[in-house]
Amino acid sequence: MGKQIMIDPITRIEGHAKISLHLDDSGVVDEARMHVTQFRGFEKFCEGRPFYEMPSLMARTCGICPVSHLVAAAKACDDLYSVQIPEAAVMLRRMINLAQIMQSHALSFFYLSSPDLVFGMDADPAMRNLFGVHAQDPQLMRDGIRLRQIGQQIIELLGGKRIHPSWVVPGGVNAPLTEEHRDTILAVLPEAKALAQRTLRWYKKIMKQFKPEIDTFANFPSLYLGLVDKLGNLEHYDGNFRMMDAAGNIIIDQFDTLRYAEIIEEAVEPWSYMKFPYYKSLGYPRGMYRTGPLARLNIIDACGTPMADDELEEFRGGSTKPVQSSFHYHWARLIEILFAVERIEDILTTKRVMTKHVRAYATPNSFDGIGVTEAPRGSLIHHFKIDEQGLVTWANLIIATAHNNLAMNRGILQAAKTFVDGNHLKEGMLNRVEAVIRAFDPCLSCSTHAAGQMPFHVELVAPDGELLDEVKRGV
């Protein structure tokens, strides 16, 4: 019987999970699993609630990406109404969603992953953290803080508050944009663009030091899924599904998101509270696909904004095949920040966004409503069924992070097989396994206000219970 290494909890991610590495008798990694250990139950406890509560209720799923849940649930309510919401409302919702992508990507890159990038995977954990980056590269951290601050500020100016705004409602938004807020947002965008570009330059310079990680951090063929607009360009609010295979062939295009259940199925494993979505036609687990920034940049024809398109060209390196390494989620995230700033500027410089008509009023005209949007971490699907009283009778949420569950699990196995020597553990080996998960930036709930220490303690235990080796930090 082989040994098992537990990494519990995984640090610098949003939510709670652990990794188990299963070794064979010679100490070689044989299997790896990411166990999501928290249970939320939103699909169950929204049953019996009025449908119009769904946007604000679902936003509570998360403290990092509440806007995505707000928008997806509101779109599902629009579908229940069977209405087309005013154009200005679409623009405003699109903008708040982009602002959230901006701040969430900044949090992931600067607060959670930059310590690995600044110090390297083997650095002393006492230094390899947020405060270490402050001391080592204050410019980088100032840029990160400022980018996140700008994203949050835009959310607050539009939605009234930074976390859990209630501005997005079924049928549109509950207030039009004021000229004062428009001008305030426009004034900070040039700075945001400059900060995103400076960080991109920095990343492209330092990534050369991470070739072993680029080669082995979930670097394998898979499918890629995301939304595209009618032209096949980058889309975060509306649009239709596109799926690409590992060779770069588009196998599904302009697929109506309301028909998501025809292409996506969810599997369940007894060792995790997170489901395992897969592409139905290929079955489980062959139907593994990736979503989120890397997938979005892989599937599109173009971003549709000039600076982001220049970066996209460099990102693809002239290849027509998708970028396979999940290490480059980091790169894709930075390009999307730049895109978000450019797109917000585009929206704010049109007159139509200032239209006062921003909400459609209706009562339910359908018992089934689906809302799909692109959250920072990938495609987000909210699906509700209601009864004649408008009470929710059934809900299905396919959260962005879950789409990547199969790929994350295979990714940690790939990295563990490459880096982990089960006979002699080193902290840096295990940090690489964690860093694979960080590259995906999973949002396992984030709405908890966790207090206190997040210790890290890995034990290598022999089949007879003898402690062979251990690594501790913060214990």
Partner 1 sequence: MARTVVIGYGNPLRGDDAAGVAVAQALQERLNDRPDVTVEAAFQLLPEHAALIAEADRVLFVDAALDGSPGEVRSTVVMPVTPPGSPLTHTLSPGQILGMCQQLFGKCPHATLWTLTGWEFEHQEGMSERIQQAMLGWVEQIVEDLLHPPAQAS
For partner 1, the closer CB: 132 or 232: 132
Question: 65, 376 in Cβ contact below 8 A?
Answer: yes
In Å, what is the CA distance from 262 to each residue of 31, 67, 266, 307, 333?
A: 31, 27, 12, 36, 29
Residues in the chain: 475
For partner 1, the closer CB: 318 or 452: 452
For partner 1, the closer CB: 317 or 452: 452
One residue of 148, 236, 328, 343 binding partner 1 per CB under 8 A: 148
Instruction: Give the E-state strand segments of 37-173 in sequence order.
Output: 168-169, 172-173
Span of 83-91, 142-150, 166-174, 424-432 interacting with partner 1 by CB under 8 A: 142-150
Smallest separation, CB 395 to partner 1 (Å) = 22
d(CA 176, CA 301): 32
334 binds partner 1 (CB under 8 A): no
Span of 169-177, 200-208, 284-292, 444-452 interacting with partner 1 by CB under 8 A: 444-452
For partner 1, the closer CB: 283 or 455: 455
For partner 1, the closer CB: 151 or 287: 151
Dmax (CA) of the chain: 72
Name residues contacting partner 1, limited to 112-141 (CB under 8 A): 129-132, 134-135, 138, 141
d(CA 67, CA 443): 13
d(CA 412, CA 467): 24
Span of 79-87, 147-155, 297-305, 461-469 interacting with partner 1 by CB under 8 A: 147-155
Smallest separation, CB 14 to partner 1 (Å) = 10
For partner 1, the closer CB: 132 or 172: 132
Question: 338, 197 in Cβ contact below 8 A?
Answer: yes
Smallest separation, CB 295 to partner 1 (Å) = 29
Per-residue tokens: 322: 């998708």
For partner 1, the closer CB: 134 or 211: 134
For partner 1, the closer CB: 152 or 409: 152
Per-residue tokens: 156: 């607050």
319 binds partner 1 (CB under 8 A): no
**Closest residue by Cα to residue 464 from 16, 21, 25, 116:** 25
Per-residue tokens: 30: 């044989």
231 binds partner 1 (CB under 8 A): no
42 binds partner 1 (CB under 8 A): no
450 binds partner 1 (CB under 8 A): yes
For partner 1, the closer CB: 125 or 212: 125
Smallest separation, CB 444 to partner 1 (Å) = 14
Dihedral sign for Cα atoms in the order 241, 279, 43, 326: negative
One residue of 44, 142, 198, 424 binding partner 1 per CB under 8 A: 142
**Closest residue by Cα to residue 345 from 189, 154, 234:** 189
41: left (phi over 0), alpha (psi -120 to 50) or beta: left
Binding mask 45-64 for partner 1 (x = CB under 8 A): ------------------x-
SS3 247: coil
Per-residue tokens: 110: 């600067």
Q: Which one-letter amino acid corresponds to residue 197? A: Q
Residue 472 burial (CB < 10 Å; 0-12/13-18/19+)? exposed
109 binds partner 1 (CB under 8 A): no
472 binds partner 1 (CB under 8 A): no
Q: DSSP string spanning 288-307?
A: -EE-SHHHHHHH-SB-SSHH
457 binds partner 1 (CB under 8 A): no
454 binds partner 1 (CB under 8 A): yes
194 binds partner 1 (CB under 8 A): no
146 binds partner 1 (CB under 8 A): yes
Interface with partner 1 (CB under 8 A): 11, 63, 111, 129-132, 134-135, 138, 141-142, 145-146, 148-149, 152, 163, 449-456, 473-474
